């Protein structure tokens, strides 16, 4: 069944090519298509395009369909619920099921609506939910990093610039750095949420409707913060919301990629800063000594793929004029799987970093001696010697092989340094970002929408 089909039979080759993976992707949109329909039907009754009795009948069955979708062992993808082979998409499937169950009233739910704004609101609701899941996993990793930062704040670690030995650092600083990086990543995710959390429903095919619909009502019913007011822009927003979400995902992925690269280096025998339980590493088919950081290598590669996603979406929408175009269908195939992949990477990073074993006394090795040269320069400066003269004096000691240092005398006290990690302040920044999302409003609206 095709909502647009009349008396012409479409070529099988054309149908296969144009549908592509859309049924598979549409299963992810199934619960959100139902939610959008419940809100739309409620609004149609309010403006007199459906009777109250019809709306009650339709929404009761829509809620049954919603429950059927969620009675599934599969995360996000229904098990019992499917899109029939002869049905084009999720919108047609739900309308078919509804009509099959309640008769003629089911055919009325498409009034004042196009598949264009229907899929738009589905995607907005789906992305809103996915962003919340991403925010939760990002916050979980953040909390772990903060805990590890405090736990290992006294464990010294060489700091590098240009991958050359530079100055003393600590695992407290290392864990804390990636924690604070996630704060900024979360700010960009919040910005994506603000863009996504606007209601396009009622824009129809992209030019509005002559029906006296109430778009403010559907906005409230679905828990959106605001409307996409201009109906043309509502349609143009498809591709843009996905790209902005992908950019926020890429920021988180970049943090994960860099952190994973550090772990791969630190596990290397030439660094030998960390180790992991044997069950979290893999071995070699011919080298019995190997303990490979495969998890971090795969996180790094998956994260780097996600970093390319905003550019993919940008190029797929390049040179599109205003209005709907079938090109936009393909965005789902790139974005939707990446959301699950990024969540999995965040979860695996938590698994690994919660079990990391930090080596003690790393900086006592003489090969790290010169990392303390700046410390000795600073000590001379504190005694009144001009910095340039102190720099030259320590430099001469190094060249003559006379440089010595007492590594127990490190004094770093300013904000964000080894001796003053500002863990609580960074934690407060994250709490504020999480609060600014305002997830509760959407959650409450959806709960009310699903009440019988």
CATH number at residue 181: 1.20.200.10
Predicted pLDDT at 79: 54
Domain boundary pick from 337, 363, 389: 363
- On whether the pTM is more than 0.85, the answer is yes
Whether residue 306 is contained in a domain is answered as yes
How many residues can be counted in the chain? 452
* Cα separation, 135 vs 430, whole angstroms: 11
Question: Does residue 335 share a domain with residue 211?
Answer: yes
| pLDDT reading at 385 higher than 70 | yes
Domain boundary pick from 332, 363, 394: 363
| Tens-place pLDDT, residues 326-345 | 888 889 999 999 999 999 99
Whether residue 239 is contained in a domain is answered as yes
**CB-count burial class (<10 Å; 0-12, 13-18, 19+) for 435:** exposed
| pLDDT reading at 186 higher than 90 | yes
| Tens-place pLDDT, residues 393-448 | 999 999 999 998 888 778 888 999 999 999 999 999 999 999 999 999 999 999 99
Backbone angles phi, psi at 226, to 5 degrees: -160, 170
Taking all residues of the chain, what is their mean pLDDT, rounded to a whole number? 91
Question: Does residue 55 share a domain with residue 180?
Answer: no
Nearest to 222 by CA among 70, 32, 434: 32
Question: Does residue 231 share a domain with residue 83?
Answer: no
Whether residue 407 is contained in a domain is answered as no
| Tens-place pLDDT, residues 43-77 | 999 999 999 999 999 999 999 999 989 875 545 44
For residue 158, the tally of other CB atoms under 10 A from its CB is: 17
Question: Does residue 213 share a domain with residue 146?
Answer: yes
Question: Does residue 190 share a domain with residue 77?
Answer: no
Count of structural domains, the chain: 3
Question: Does residue 282 share a domain with residue 147?
Answer: yes
Write the CATH number for 59.
1.10.275.10
User: What domain range is 86 assigned to?
Assistant: 12-111
Is 162 considered catalytic here?
yes
Q: Which residue has the tokens 């004096």?
A: 393
* Cα separation, 201 vs 227, whole angstroms: 8
* Cα separation, 31 vs 255, whole angstroms: 32
> Catalytic residue among 70, 84, 284, 354, which?
284
Whether residue 354 is contained in a domain is answered as yes
Q: What is the CA radius of gyration of the chain?
A: 28
Question: Does residue 139 share a domain with residue 48?
Answer: no
Confidence of residue 4 (pLDDT cuts 50, 70, 90): very low
Q: Which residue has the tokens 């590890």?
A: 148
Confidence of residue 94 (pLDDT cuts 50, 70, 90): very high
Predicted pLDDT at 78: 44
Confidence of residue 85 (pLDDT cuts 50, 70, 90): confident
Predicted pLDDT at 13: 80
| Tens-place pLDDT, residues 287-332 | 767 778 899 999 999 999 999 999 999 999 998 888 888 888 889 9
Question: Does residue 98 share a domain with residue 80?
Answer: yes
| Tens-place pLDDT, residues 208-233 | 999 999 999 999 999 999 999 999 99
Question: Does residue 141 share a domain with residue 68?
Answer: no
Whether residue 442 is contained in a domain is answered as no
Whether residue 412 is contained in a domain is answered as no
Question: Does residue 104 share a domain with residue 53?
Answer: yes
Domain boundary pick from 363, 386, 418: 363
Predicted pLDDT at 441: 97
Question: Does residue 102 share a domain with residue 190?
Answer: no
Predicted pLDDT at 70: 82
Question: Does residue 318 share a domain with residue 223?
Answer: yes
Whether residue 409 is contained in a domain is answered as no
Whether residue 5 is contained in a domain is answered as no
């Amino acid at each position: 069944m095709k909502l647009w089909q009349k008396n012409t039979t479409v070529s099988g080759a054309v149908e296969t090519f144009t549908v592509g993976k859309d049924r598979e992707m549409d299963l992810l949109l199934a619960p959100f298509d139902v939610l959008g329909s419940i809100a739309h039907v409620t609004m149609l009754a309010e403006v007199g395009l459906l009777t109250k009795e019809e709306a009650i009948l339709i929404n009761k069955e829509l809620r049954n369909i919603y429950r059927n979708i969620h009675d599934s062992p599969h995360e996000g993808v229904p098990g019992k619920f499917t899109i029939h082979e002869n049905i084009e998409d999720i919108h047609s499937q739900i309308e078919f099921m509804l009509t099959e169950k309640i008769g003629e009233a089911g055919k009325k739910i498409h009034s004042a609506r196009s598949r264009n704004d229907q899929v738009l609101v589905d995607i907005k609701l789906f992305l809103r939910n996915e962003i919340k899941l991403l925010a939760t996993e990002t916050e979980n990793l953040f909390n772990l990093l903060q805990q590890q930062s405090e736990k290992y704040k006294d464990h010294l670690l060489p700091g590098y610039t240009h991958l050359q030995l530079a100055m003393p650092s600590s695992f407290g600083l290392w864990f804390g750095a990636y924690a604070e990086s996630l704060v900024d990543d979360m700010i960009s995710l919040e910005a994506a949420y603000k863009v996504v959390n606007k209601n396009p429903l009622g824009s129809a095919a992209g030019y509005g409707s002559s029906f006296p619909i109430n778009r403010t009502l559907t906005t409230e019913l679905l828990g959106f913060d605001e409307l996409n007011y201009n109906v043309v822009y509502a349609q143009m927003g498809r591709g843009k919301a996905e790209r902005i979400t992908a950019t926020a995902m890429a920021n988180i992925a970049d943090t994960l990629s860099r952190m994973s690269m550090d772990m791969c280096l630190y596990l290397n025998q030439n660094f030998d800063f960390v180790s992991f339980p044997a069950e979290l590493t893999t071995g070699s088919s011919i080298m019995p000594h190997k303990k490979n950081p495969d998890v971090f290598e795969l996180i790094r590669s998956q994260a780097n793929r996600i970093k390319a996603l905003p550019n993919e979406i940008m190029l797929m929408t390049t040179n599109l004029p205003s209005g709907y175009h079938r090109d936009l269908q393909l965005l789902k195939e790139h974005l939707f799987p990446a959301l699950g992949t990024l969540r999995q990477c965040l979860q695996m990073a938590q698994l690994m970093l919660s079990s990391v074993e930090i080596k003690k006394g790393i900086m006592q090795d003489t090969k790290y001696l010169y990392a303390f040269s700046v410390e000795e320069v600073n000590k001379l400066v504190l005694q009144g010697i001009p910095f340039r003269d102190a720099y030259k004096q320590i430099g001469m000691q190094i060249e003559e092989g006379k440089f010595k240092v007492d590594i127990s005398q490190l004094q770093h006290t300013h904000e964000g340094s080894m001796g003053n990690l500002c863990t609580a302040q960074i934690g407060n920044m994250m709490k504020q970002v999480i609060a600014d999302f305002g997830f509760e409003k959407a959650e409450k609206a959806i709960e009310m929408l699903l009440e019988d």
